[in-house]
Structure 1
Amino acid sequence: MRAVIQERLLTAQSRQKSYADRRRRPLKFQEGDSVLLRVSPRKGVVQFGVKEKLAPRYVRPFLIVQRKCQPEPKAVVQWFDIPIQYYVSYEEAPVQILDRKINNLRHREISLVKVLWQHHGVEEAT
């Protein structure tokens, strides 16, 4: 009985996949095309154009001015050897302080520090 149910589930899945694949097509945009920006709601994020109870799914159309990033299959990824402990984790260690800044609030000063971490590049500094 269980084998029959699994077989029918697989049949239904493949049928639904074929229906979905008929409508799918690879998206290719050119310069000058207009695209809608999809906004996924998250907690604490200000939503675009909230006028009613519900926020819109898409933000206004944006014009594609320039195409910059083309994926390159031979791109070289920089590799870092990370020492892993026996309990399968590793510890981040600060290497250098890159920048300091003080935010002045009404009655407080908050110091912000940008830190370069071990095993990470400058673009991943927090």
Structure 2
Amino acid sequence: MRFGVGGKLSPRYVGPYEILEKIRKVAYRLALPPSLSGVHNAFHVSMLGKYTSDPNHVIELEPLNLREDLSFEEQPVRLVDRKDQVLRRRTIPYVKVQWQNHSEREATWELEEKMRSKYPFLFETSGFDPREVNEEQDA
């Protein structure tokens, strides 16, 4: 439960995570993500599982442009999809945006109006008109 997963069908191991250092003969310090900040990062070898190689685990890292306060601004890369949220009296258009340093699987739904005002280049240069995607799906 400490790792945010629980129940009968939950995975036995969480990870993989990078080993930062060998503390003692049987203890290792791991690089844990911020979501596991409540968990101590030192583990006994009996709690660790063997890593089996998987080509999907390869992550290509690009350097981040950090500000002085160690924050950075996310930049949108492209529009993936479009949908309309239909309410009783109005329709709200959304676009699915893929962000820099994130995969398409991690794309988020954003208000189209907000994205058009803040990032107009996404709608001009991409050649992707989100309205066309919806019209093709309706046909």
- Using structure 1 for the length normalisation, give the TM-score: 0.40
- TM-score w.r.t. length of structure 2: 0.37
Q: Which has the larger radius of gyration?
A: 1
